[in-house]
Each structure stands twice: as structure tokens, then as C-alpha cells.
Structure 1
């Protein structure tokens, strides 16, 4: 799939250039070469998109939810039929292999179908009243216009996780696409229009976060905001939404612990540790960036893990294990963080540098010998970098796991049923896993974290319906005298 040389906003069912005429250069992560230029939108463009969504939303809200689901099914069918094409778009924009890109499309299709089915299950409740002749019930009503802001790491999955629950609940949508994966979002908007989604209901604006994302958050006609991205930006958006009492869902970063106990299957643990830390070039909020090892198996695990890491193949072919990081800025931030850690005494066991080839390839990196409060422990680097920690006991491992202000995902490898369940109970995380990886959530499962990992909301799963709808209580009163 050829990425277009220029890409404009998708507003009101049409491709529209930014009002200011500005453009942003977008580079190919696998080569470092200029890939396309995209619209550099501002507040006026966001306003156009919000007005289009607001105009289209009442008709969509009046459409029965079951019929809304049928449109989502059609979108899913078109995405599946064109999975090779869309997978190639994802691969070209991110530098992933086509195999990975197509696999991500499959996950997005599953998400679309799940929420299409929720059109038949937008359940409310009946609630007994203490007053004779009174019946209470609750129904879900649309929030109105949803402002969606996504990250570039898994672009079509990120679109799906927010777009489809927002639509099934009856909302109009304005999506601020990630500037590093703009065409994935625009491709989806075009296909949704083809599938029968009303023009103007799903709009895509391109641009920088401060210039296009922030105006979307503060717009008076945007009723709910959902953001996936860094904790730093999430804090900023929360500050903007707070004074406006605006509903906002924040899915933020993680420094996720991957715990290996002394009774674990080490080969299995090493395999899952490598996937957790390095798959998708480590660009997962759920990446296993802190590997906590029981003292008894520390050296044995380290030797196996270093060997497995050094055997990984970098590139964007289907036979490669990981591709590049998304842009030059991210790569530079990672390299600088590693150098600062080394200056404080950290030891690089594997990787630690960029690959000697064009593009933004970061060698998969393992680091040890640093303090629990060092930057490398406290800061999400969002790349193929992980750190080793030594635990003297199960209790110490849990203490280390809970030793950062993040709380997104966590994993433990152990043969002990008791240890596994106790870990899941005690670890501060929104997602916990036994004997697998720190990643791997599915469309029907709630995902989100606590602390610096989010504000307590969950997407996707049926819990996402709470983000994009409002509950209305209806009281029905019967007058016996009228019977």
C-alpha cells in the first residue's frame, strides 16, 4: 500500500485542508525518509470537525442501537475484506512487518464486532422503589460529541478501542489522529463512510497535540474526551478538562513489573519476558519494562534472557522480531536516558545503542545495577528497554512491583497457585497476569490502570460504555384511581 504524499483532514465526509495551510512532515520509521506531509490543524479546524459531528449526532442517536450495530458490522466486514491493504498501511506508517500490521487489523475487527453486538445489549436496570405505584428504571443515553486522542504504537487497534464504543453509544466523533500514523485513521474514516456511517459523524483531524488535541479537549461542544498516551500529556489534558467539569478517560503509561519466582519455569519465563519487553519494539503501555527476579534464579535467568535478547532480529520483514521505534525524537530520548543511567553506574547487559542502519531501530536493551528511585525506574521510555531487579523473597518482589507511582499491568511467573493469586491480590495494577506476559488484553476485556497509569476509567470491554454514555433514571408512577 502506497502512503499518499499529502494527507488532509476528514471532516463532514470530505477531505479538507487545514485552514491555515500548514503541513507537518511525517517520516518512515524504517528508513528515516520523508513519507508524507499531513494537515497541520488548529482550533478552527477542530471547530469545523466538532460542528460536523454535532450536526450528525442527533440522527445517529435516534437510530436504534441494534441498527447502529449493523453499520458497525459492515465496517468490520470491510476492514476484514481489506485486511491486507489496511495491514500494509499500518506496517508502512509504523515500520512494523506486514504480518504484524495485518494481525493488528484482526484485533481491530474483533473490537468492531464486539461493540456492534453491544447494540443489542445496551442494558439498563429496573430498581424497586419505596413508594407504592412507582417503578424506577435506567437507560443509557449518548454523551453527545466524543473527542478521541490516540497514540501511534498500535494505530488501528487504538482507533478501534475508542471509535466503536463511542459510535455504538450514539455519539458523534472527532478523532485527533496520532501525527505519526495519520493515514491509518483517515483510511478507517473513508471505509466507515463507505459502510453507511452518516457523513460528519466520524471526523479525523491531523496535527500536533498542543495545536489540535488541546483545542478538542477545551471545545465547549465536546461532551466527553478519551485519551491514550503519555502520563505527561494526560496530566495536561486533565488540567484542561477539570475546570470545565468535562468527562475524561485517561489511559496512560506504565512501568510494568514482570516477576519471576524461584519455582518458575525459566525457559517459559524468558520467552514471555522477551515478548513483554521487546515485541512491538517495546512500544506498549503494557510493556514489561521492570523484570523482578528472585535472588535464587537471578543469575540463571539473566544468562538465558541476555542470550535470547541477543538472538532477536531487528527489521520489518515478517521473519523479524521487532521493528523500529516510531520517530527520531523517541529514539533520541531513549539513547539519552541510557547514557544518563550509565553515568550513575548502571550496566548495560545487551543492546544500549541504535542499530547501524537507516531508520529508527533501537537495539533491544537490558540494564542492571541502578537505584530504585533512578530515572530509569521511574520514567516510561516506551521502547525496547527493560531493567533487572533482584528480590530476596516473594514479599520483597511485591514491594518492588509496587515501587513506582504507575499501576497499569503486572505479571508473575510461578508454579505456586497460592503465590500467583496472592500476587494478583496485592499488586497495584489494573491488569494482572499469571505465567504469561504483561500485555495481551482483548476487545471484550476492561483495560486501564491506577496512579500515573490512568484516572480509573476502563476501555474497551463493556466498561467502555460507561465512558461514552450517560445513565438516565426514569421514574414511572401509577395512579390506582385511574385504573
Structure 2
């Protein structure tokens, strides 16, 4: 028992202070070693209410602060992130099982998002409008909404936090961030840096714990005006139902079963490289992962042989020369192995990787080898279900029309990629594919801070983050008109 007390205890962060109150303690395990890493103080309903109250108390002062001033404060926050990049990198790497190189890349991605939205303080634009009435002058303004509940997953934890906290705060909202129970410490560190930068106490709060307890309490509280959620489609639907009863605003970025199409004129080596990155980087833990690879029959054998060779060459581990690390927790590890077993039962053939019996050659940790499965029906479970791991199914098609049909045969519509030298074919496919993002000759992922990201169908509810489109999520538009009468002298 003596060793347990030496393990980090991760608190909530409310009104500028660490808070160790809660109804239970959760164990957080290191995904690389499967050993106990930290103890999380799980926020109960009263702690959640305390966080919402703290955010509500400071909303008026923060929202009426000049957007330029808010931008300056967030700019200082970003500079502190840069100054503390090594510590942020190390926390992300330890909590998620990434290499330090990959974790550092994620930190710099979060910094880029912060820099973009800090600059929006000088560009919080609305519009001037013309009127059919003589002497009537009209313009719109953006106003903050209120207390925002920001709920994030652990796959890219600091990037996920940045995608939500910076647009929410620059628009004048206050926030309660529900940290992932698989990456709790990075959320508290970000809140501490925000305080050091001058973000007022209560503007940025963090609660910890399980989604079905602390997350549920946050969503159901009528003090929350907006809920921004990134995670599973099933939870997103529940949030939309609960929040819809009180007409709270909801932004949902949900799952994907994203197609990667290889045409007969594709640069095969380039396609193999991007298919591997789309399917296996970050251990396949991306909502934008390319988990369905659709290949023209003319190049099928060549492409598959090269992709299998590429997958077998990938190195598992947390060193900087490793290609992918473990999945985030034991539950996810077991779910993926079960999905592979089920795919084999439904007629799939494992070309490389796990057969569902063993995770990988790595003795400890939640490692799963890059896995490629062919021969599945487009109606098989693995063809339809997002599993969030380094597992990809591959399909043979006769041409572009069939490729489109297979691609759109899903409830999801998040991202897609097509590899072809034919511009006409690429543009035709880009117009027809049912997705929020389509890339040509690169991977299925790769949104940048100034670019909108989101999906259709079961991948989201039509909102977009980040980009300037995120301002529409986090602000209300108010239209103001004034009638100016002529003065006769």
C-alpha cells in the first residue's frame, strides 16, 4: 500500500484552485506498461455544480471584457504553453503511450490552434447589412452564449482541449472542461497555465471522472448553455436528446468509418504510405482514421502486397523511432481483439497483425499489431463499426462508381481520401462522397487550425471546429438596426 500513496493524485480544477473532493477514486493505468500511473479524484454531482457555479459567476465580467483583451490574455496562455512544451509533451506521452516525438507534435498542434484563436480577438467579425428602408442602418454582432461544457476524449488530449477551450474563451464564454479519465493530468496542467497567463479564476474549470457520472451531471445541469462533445456517436445522440429538451446549443464531433480509395492510376507507393498512416498512426485512434481501404481490382494485388509489407515493417513502442504505440486502455484493447475475432468468424481473412488471440509481440501494455483484414462483406460488423484501433478492412471494386457506393454504405460521413492522377475523377468523387472532409492523394486526416472539421450523418450534427466556423458554435448573433432621420436645417 505504501507505493500507492506515492502515485500522483489528479484533482479537479475549480475557480483557479485544485480540488480533491469527489465521491470515488479512479485508477489510471499507463497504456505502455499496464501499470498504475495515477489516482483520479472523481467529481461527484456537487463538485460539478460547484464548477458550473464558478463559471457562471464570472461570465458577465469575462464576456464584457474586450475581445482584444481576451485575445491578449489567451496569447499569453499560448506563450506559456510554448515555454512549458517539454512538460506538456511528457505528460501527453505518459498518459497516452505516445512517443515523445509524436507527443511534441501534438503539443505544437495545440499551440497553433491557440495562436489562431488568440488572433481572432482582433477579428471577431460579424456583418454590416443593407436595408430596403431609407435611413435604416443595420449590423450584426457576436455575443457569448454562457457556460460551456467541453467534453473531450484521450486520443489526442491536448489538441482536443485546445480545439474547444480557445474558441470558447475568445468568444467570451466561460467553460467547464470534462477531462478524459484516460488523460486527466494534461487538462489540469492546461488550466494551471491559463491561470498563470491571466485567465481569471472561474473562466476555465476542469472536472474529472467517468462520463456516466460527472459527464452526465454536467450535461443535465440547466446552468450549462452549450455542450461541445467529441466522442462516440451513441453518447452524442444521448447528449443531443438531453440538451434538446432545454434547447441548449450542442456541437457534436462523433465517429467515423472513413474510406480510403485507391484508383487504377494512383501512385501506389504514395497511396501505401498514406494508407498506412491513415490506418495505423496514433494506433488507429483517430475519428478520421482510414479504416476502410477500397482498391480498384486492376491494382489490388500490388497495393495489398505492398501495404501488408509496410504494416509488417512498422515498429511498436514509445521510442521516437517507433511508428505506433498502445491503445489507450485495457477495455479498448479487449474490444478490438473481440472485433477482430468477430470479423474472422464473419468470413474475414487476417493478412497480417493480430488474429484476435494476442495483442502483439510486446509483452506488456495494450499493444495491438497493425492488422489488415480482407474478404469481409460490406455489411459485416467491422465494415460498419468504428473500433478505434490499428485495424483496417480492405475491399476490391471494379471502378469509381462501385468505390463510391461502398464508401457511402455507412451511417458515418466524417472524412475520406482518394488517390488518383485524374483531376476530373477526383473532383467528381469529392462532390459525391458523403463526408465533411475529402482529401486527394494524401490521408484521411490532417485538419489545420484555420480549417473547419466535422461530419454528416452519425459523424456529427453539422457544426464545425476549429476554423472561423467555430465562432458560429460559440456565439449568438444579434442584429442591431437604427433609423436615422434627415435633419432639415
Please state how far the C-alpha of 1:18 moved relative to its aligned partner. 2.6
**Counterpart Cα distance in 2 of 1:227 and 1:482:** 57
Alignment deviations for residues 219-243 of structure 1 (CA, whole Å, 9 cap, x no partner): 1111111000011111111111111
How far the C-alpha of 1:475 sits from its partner, in A, is 1.1
d(CA) in 1 for partners of 2:446 and 2:196? 31
Matched with 1:120 is 122
Matched residue, 1:388: 394
Q: How many angstroms does 1:210 deviate by?
A: 1.1
Q: Please name the residue that 1:367 is paired with.
A: 373
The aligned runs of 1:60-459 (5 Å cut-off) are: 60-352=62-354, 353-356=358-361, 357-459=363-465
2-structure distance, mates of 1:441, 1:482: 57
Aligned match for 1:41, one of 33, 40, 43 = 43
Whether 1:473 aligns to 2:476 is no
CA drift of 1:481 comes to 5.0
CA distance in 1, matches of 2:109, 2:7: 25
Structure 1 position 480, deviation (Å): 2.8
Gaps of at least 5 residues in structure 2 are 1-5
Separation in 2, partners of 1:161, 1:19: 27
Structure 1 segments (4+ residues) deviating >2 Å: 479-483
**Aligned in 2, Cα 1:482/1:44: closer, same or farther, shift over 3 Å?**
farther
TM-score by length of 1: 0.98
Contact 2:22 2:41 in 1 (8 A): no
- CA shift, 1:60, in A, is 1.1
Displacement, 1:152?
0.3
| Deviation string, structure 1 residues 360-413 (Cα, Å, up to 9, x no partner) | 001110001111111101100000000101110111111111111100000000
327-336 or 234-243, larger mean C-alpha shift: 234-243
The secondary structure found in structure 1 opposite 2:18 is strand
Cα displacement (A) at 1:166: 0.2
Which runs of 5 or more structure 1 residues have no equivalent in the other structure?
none
SS in 1 for 2:122: coil
Q: CA deviation at 1:4?
A: 6.0
CA drift at 1:479:
2.9
SS in 1 for 2:458: helix
Q: Please say which of residues 447-456 and 207-216 is displaced more in the overlay.
A: 207-216
**Is 1:6–2:9 an aligned residue pair?**
yes
Q: Deviations over 1:430-462 (max 9, x none)?
A: 000000000111111000000010000000000
Instruction: Provide the rounded CA distance (Å) in 1 between the counterparts of 2:309 and 2:127.
Output: 56
Inter-partner Cα distance in structure 2 for 1:146 and 1:164 = 12
Deviations 1:241-290 (A, max 9, x none): 11111110000000000000000010010000000000000000000000
1:18 aligns with 2:21: yes
How far residue 53 of structure 1 moved from its aligned partner, in angstroms, is 0.6
Stretch deviating more after TM superposition (277-286 or 227-236): 227-236
TM-score (norm 2): 0.97
Deviations 1:80-112 (A, max 9, x none): 111111001000000000111111000000000
